[in-house]
């Protein structure tokens, strides 16, 4: 299912190909996030045009709304949302632990209340896999426990133990035809826990491995360490997926550390508040600097927004709360994420990734938040 086509000689970057029931995915890949069966503000044609290979859906959200009966009646998630390419579904583990307010962890899952109407729900390995089977995703994720990054060591250990036990349960559940299942490594910033969790999951022979417990509010250096603590214990012959990450520069850093797959709400989320991402970093389009700036968001960009509109016009739309403004920034940002992955794959194929990596990072200005974390790191 996963073919490792090439390994970079100077970094851990890998070129690969993942074959799923709905088509082939070239890696490294960015997967736009369609939590509620829609990549926010974008339509399937726009997603295809910008080169999307695979999108995400979410077990927790789709099970609550529209509910499984409706998606079953539609003939699965692909047909419900009219998306013919691959879909990866997250298991709902992350959402149960981050969204649901009142919860009780039981041996076989979690009792919680819907974040929408407070109704009592239960989600565990068995339920999550059954939902993902009905959704008919190409890649299902195991139901894991994802503690916050500042959880005490005891909680991190318990989460790893449950994650391992639940992964084994998930492994045994029925699947949709051709559905792949990925394990999720937890363990926070603890190298021993990461190693233990990875080894246990690898022994279960999943179709791919995700690194979870990242992008849960931790500083960037801790995130990078969590990846570095985990990667050496993952088999080279399987795809590796860093969940919920990141900025373009972070994705490049992680590709250099051996990661193949990414998903992130960032490009569409920041678009809705008027922040555009380019190869040089992110900037606020609403700023008065763009009042009469009649260039595109990014010079040379081939996305529909950059081919059609100026910064001055988009700034006006955003200030006037016109939906076309956030739509077009969502188009550009998502296109940029996908475009960077295309460039990465070309560089690995050409044997020039190390150079690409250096230049990309040198050219990219990280956000103030990330820079502040880096400064604190240096001062430690």
Number of residues that bind a copy of itself (CB under 8 A): 39
SS3 content of the chain, % helix, strand, coil (to 5): 45, 20, 35
Q: Is 60 an interacting residue with respect to a copy of itself (CB under 8 A)?
A: no
* Strands (E) located in 129-185: 139-141, 180-185
3-class DSSP assignment, residue 130: helix
Residue written as tokens 């995703």?
137
Secondary structure (H, E, C), 74-113: HCCHHHHHCCCCCEEEECCHHHHHHCCCCEEEECCEEEEE
Q: Is 271 an interacting residue with respect to a copy of itself (CB under 8 A)?
A: no
Q: Which of 8, 26, 90, 260 is catalytic?
A: 90
Q: Is 70 an interacting residue with respect to a copy of itself (CB under 8 A)?
A: yes
Residue written as tokens 């200005």?
365
Helix (H) or strand (E) holding 281: strand 281-284
Rank residues 286 and 374 by Cβ distance to a copy of itself and give the closer one: 286
Is residue 207 annotated as a catalytic residue, yes or no?
no
Question: In the chain, what's the furthest Cα-to-Cα distance?
Answer: 60
Is residue 43 annotated as a catalytic residue, yes or no?
no
Residues of span 292-331 touching a copy of itself by CB under 8 A: 292, 294, 304, 308-310, 312-313, 315-317, 319-320, 322-328
Q: Which of 10, 82, 273, 365 binds a copy of itself (CB under 8 A)?
A: 82
Instruction: Please state whether the peptide bond connecting residue 246 to the residue before it is cis, i.e. omega within 30 degrees of 0.
Output: yes
Q: How far is the CB of 163 from a copy of itself (least distance, A)?
A: 29
Rank residues 319 and 358 by Cβ distance to a copy of itself and give the closer one: 319
Q: Is 121 an interacting residue with respect to a copy of itself (CB under 8 A)?
A: no
From the list 273, 269, 229, the residue with the least C-alpha distance to 246 is 269
Q: How far is the CB of 179 from a copy of itself (least distance, A)?
A: 22
Cα 25 to Cα 18: distance, rounded to the nearest angstrom: 5
Q: Is 378 an interacting residue with respect to a copy of itself (CB under 8 A)?
A: no
Q: How far is the CB of 306 from a copy of itself (least distance, A)?
A: 12
Contacts of 347 (CB under 8 A, 6+ apart): 353, 355, 356, 357
Q: Is 65 an interacting residue with respect to a copy of itself (CB under 8 A)?
A: yes
Site string for a copy of itself, 139-178 (x = CB under 8 A): ----------------------------------------
Rank residues 280 and 294 by Cβ distance to a copy of itself and give the closer one: 294
First to last CA, the chain: 44
Q: Which of 26, 144, 260, 263 is catalytic?
A: 263
Q: Is 98 an interacting residue with respect to a copy of itself (CB under 8 A)?
A: no
Q: Which residue ranges make up the site for a copy of itself (CB under 8 A)?
A: 36-38, 40-45, 65-66, 69-70, 73-74, 80-82, 291-292, 294, 304, 308-310, 312-313, 315-317, 319-320, 322-328
């Amino acid at each position: 299912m996963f073919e490792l086509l090439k390994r970079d000689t100077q970094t851990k970057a890998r070129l690969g190909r993942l074959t799923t029931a709905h088509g082939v995915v070239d890696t490294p890949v960015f997967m736009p996030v369609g939590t509620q069966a829609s990549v926010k503000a974008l339509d399937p044609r726009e997603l295809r045009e910008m080169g999307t290979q695979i999108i995400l859906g979410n077990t927790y959200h789709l099970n609550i709304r529209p509910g499984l009966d409706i998606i079953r009646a539609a003939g699965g998630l692909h047909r419900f949302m009219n998306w013919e390419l691959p879909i990866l579904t997250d298991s709902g583990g992350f959402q149960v632990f981050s969204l649901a307010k009142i919860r009780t962890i039981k041996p076989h899952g979690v009792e919680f209340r819907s974040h929408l109407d407070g109704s009592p729900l239960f989600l565990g390995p068995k339920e999550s896999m059954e939902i993902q089977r009905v959704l008919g995703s190409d890649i299902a994720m195991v139901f894991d426990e994802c503690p916050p990054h500042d959880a005490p060591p005891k909680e991190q250990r318990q989460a790893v133990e449950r994650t391992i036990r639940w992964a084994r349960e998930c492994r045994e559940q029925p699947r949709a035809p051709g559905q792949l299942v990925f394990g999720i490594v937890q363990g926070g910033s603890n190298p021993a826990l990461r190693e233990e969790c990875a080894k246990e999951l690898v022994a279960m022979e999943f179709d791919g491995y995700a690194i979870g417990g990242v992008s849960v509010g931790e500083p960037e250096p801790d995130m990078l360490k969590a990846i570095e603590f985990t990667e050496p214990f993952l088999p080279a012959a399987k795809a590796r997926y860093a969940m919920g990450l990141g900025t373009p520069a972070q994705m490049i850093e992680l590709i250099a550390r051996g990661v193949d797959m990414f998903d992130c709400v960032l490009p569409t989320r920041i678009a809705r508040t008027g922040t555009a991402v380019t190869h040089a970093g992110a900037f606020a389009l609403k700023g008065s600097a763009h009042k009469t700036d009649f260039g595109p968001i990014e010079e040379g960009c081939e996305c529909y927004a950059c081919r059609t509109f100026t910064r001055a016009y988009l700034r006006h739309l955003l200030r006037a709360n016109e939906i076309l403004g956030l739509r077009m920034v969502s188009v550009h940002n998502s296109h940029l994420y996908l475009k960077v992955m295309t460039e990465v794959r070309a560089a690995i194929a050409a044997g020039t990734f190390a150079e690409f990596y250096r230049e990309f990072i040198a050219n990219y200005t990280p956000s103030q938040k990330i820079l502040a974390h880096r400064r604190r790191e240096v001062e430690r």
